[in-house]
Chains A and B, each alone.
Chain A
Amino acid sequence: MATTVRDTIKEITRNHLSEGKGKCYGQCLTAVGWVGGTLPEMYEEDGMVEFSMADVAGGAIATGIALANGRPIYVVRYQGFQWYNLASIVNYAAKSKEIWNRPCPIFVRSIAMEGGIGPVAGSSHHSLAHRMPGIKVASPMTPGEYQHVYDCFMNEDEPYYISEHRKSYDNTEELENIILPKADFTIFPISITRLEMKKLVELSKQENIYLNIIHQLWLKPFIIEDSWKIALDNSKFGGLVTDDDYVEGTASSIANELSLATGKRVWTLGLEPRTAGFHPTVDNLPPSAEQIIKKLKQIKHGI
């Protein structure tokens, strides 16, 4: 049976703890679900350490552990809780090496989900971390990507913000880029919108729209590969960045970089600019394949 993202994270954590590379910290880790099944059943004596429910203090305590080179995996169960937790991570851990030559490597697992969980707990919030210098931001959605990002972390001394999504936890497949000789658009999907791409490609064919798909793992630093530039250059109408966060942040920043690098217009599509409610009729979900197609048709027809 193929390995899921869930099992990959669980194994990484088990090895991290049992091989003495560091410990895992967070709130309610040892609860019934073990954070969506991504944690091995280990306890404080094994290195699975429960924090109190004080979020702002928790983020800063984890930073202090990182400052002592404890290589903490810090689990924040809902990305919206980063409004509390990130204060010291982005203001201390991300700056410590630059100001004082003291590295502060911390692996922040920031978990997104949505659907009926309201205005704070829902969706991704990686834009919060993205704007600050000194932190790396990745959004792995496959087993291979997750392992790769963790390996990079262990080989470096930077703080990492990992923008996870619960809907990716069952995924076993690696996501390949699609680059056509001549496409109408190049899509640069982020986070859970990447899992919509298979459906999007099918829908687009029905609409006679031809797409390049270039999956985005590293949100920061954002390094544009030559093949991406060529693909975007060869796209008739330009590009589109899709995201599970509000577009006024990571998505717009990436779109701007791509546009500057190629001269092509690059649009964004993420959460709608409104607060999410709990009821399905007022929720605010990431763009679906249907919504992305609608946006592409609007661009194509100059609407």
Chain B
Amino acid sequence: MNSYRLKAFNKASFCRHFENQVYKAAQDKHIKFPFYLSAGQEYIPAAIYTILEEKGIDPNVFIQHRGHSHYLCKGADPIQLIDELLGRKTGCANGMGGSASIHSIEKNIFGHDGLMGSQVPIAVGHAYETRKPTIVIMGDASAEEDYVLGALGWASTKNLPILFIVEDNNLSILTEKKVRRNWEMDSVANAFNMKAFNISDDPLIIQMYMKDYDFSYPMLLNIQTTRKYWHAGAGQDDNYHTRYEQELQELGSEALKIDMNNKLLTEKLWQQQLEIQ
């Protein structure tokens, strides 16, 4: 069995069960404000950080809402994330950030202020100053913000060490991409003289495009994915089929074992934190 695929599956599995626990905690009224689940899209961070760990690259990462899986896959503390979602001072953003503005100083994850897409120019400025490998995540809707385009242009002009990842779930709340625009982000980045590709969230495909990337220039990956839960976790699509289910099926018994372990582990973590008054 391909150890890369299993390592990525382990990360994805932890994220999936963690997010299912968040959903449950909200239904049980433990979480009392809007939250943004990354379930369904977890294979993007799972693959990216598995690849970077194998390469020994530890980038600065700028996330926005729907960023729980990036936080978890990069190895930030799940307990602090649970506490954050419960509005506690011990949360990763002091209980102030909620679901959308999580961060980790230890893991070089930078939180988001709530202006959709603002993390892109902010990440570009940070990468300009530090010249360190940087990743910035946006959704297909955030990517439409005008300042995102200005930032892509400047990153290309200055040849910055930054990877732009568009998590393209085709939806802005419930409005499909084709209703909003007739262009793709990889074409836009290409027009800015940047290497850019439009790919699926298949971990082997992501690995192929990341294999030789060393952050010596800017690159954009528009990665097609599927959202399991609605915007702000208000509901769930009936007929979703995500990369996670497919990998679970293809990887067989070892994956099933990992899946069960992560289910039990996340249940335990949540239960333990919920018991703390």
A64 at interface by CB-CB < 8 Å:
yes
Given A54-B153, A62-B125, A88:B97 Cβ within 8 A: no
Query: Is there contact, CB below 8 Å, between A88 and B115?
Result: yes
Total contacts A-B at CB 8 Å: 111
Q: Among A90-98, A152-160, A168-176, A259-267, which stretch is in contact with chain B?
A: A90-98
A65 at interface by CB-CB < 8 Å:
yes
> Bound complex: CA of A98 vs CA of B96, how far in Å?
9
Q: Which residue of B lies closest to A88 (CB)?
A: B118
Contact partner of B101 (CB less than 8 A), chosen from A51, A64, A99, is A99
A52 at interface by CB-CB < 8 Å:
yes
Contact partner of A60 (CB less than 8 A), chosen from B94, B110, B114, B151, is B151
B273 at interface by CB-CB < 8 Å:
no
Query: Is there contact, CB below 8 Å, between A64 and B126?
Result: yes
List of B residues within 8 angstroms of A52 by Cβ: 150, 153-154, 157
Query: Is there contact, CB below 8 Å, between B101 and A57?
Result: no
B105 at interface by CB-CB < 8 Å:
yes
Given A52-B154, A56-B150, A65-B129, A88:B114 Cβ within 8 A: no
**Number of contact residues on A: which range applies?**
20 to 34
Query: Is there contact, CB below 8 Å, between A54 and B150?
Result: yes
Given A61-B125, A98-B96, A92:B113 Cβ within 8 A: yes
B130 at interface by CB-CB < 8 Å:
yes
List of A residues within 8 angstroms of B270 by Cβ: none
Q: Which residue of A lies closest to B151 (CB)?
A: A57
**Taking beta carbons and an 8 Å cutoff, which residues of B are in contact with A?**
93-94, 96-97, 101, 103, 105, 110-111, 113-115, 118, 120-130, 146-151, 153-154, 157
List 29 contacting pairs A-B, 8 Å CB cutoff, sorted by A. A52-B154, A52-B157, A54-B149, A57-B146, A57-B149, A58-B150, A59-B121, A60-B118, A60-B125, A63-B122, A64-B121, A64-B125, A64-B129, A65-B126, A65-B128, A66-B125, A68-B126, A68-B130, A70-B125, A70-B129, A87-B147, A88-B122, A91-B113, A99-B96, A99-B101, A100-B93, A100-B103, A100-B111, A102-B103
**Taking beta carbons and an 8 Å cutoff, which residues of A are in contact with B?**
51-52, 54, 56-70, 87-88, 91-92, 95-96, 98-102
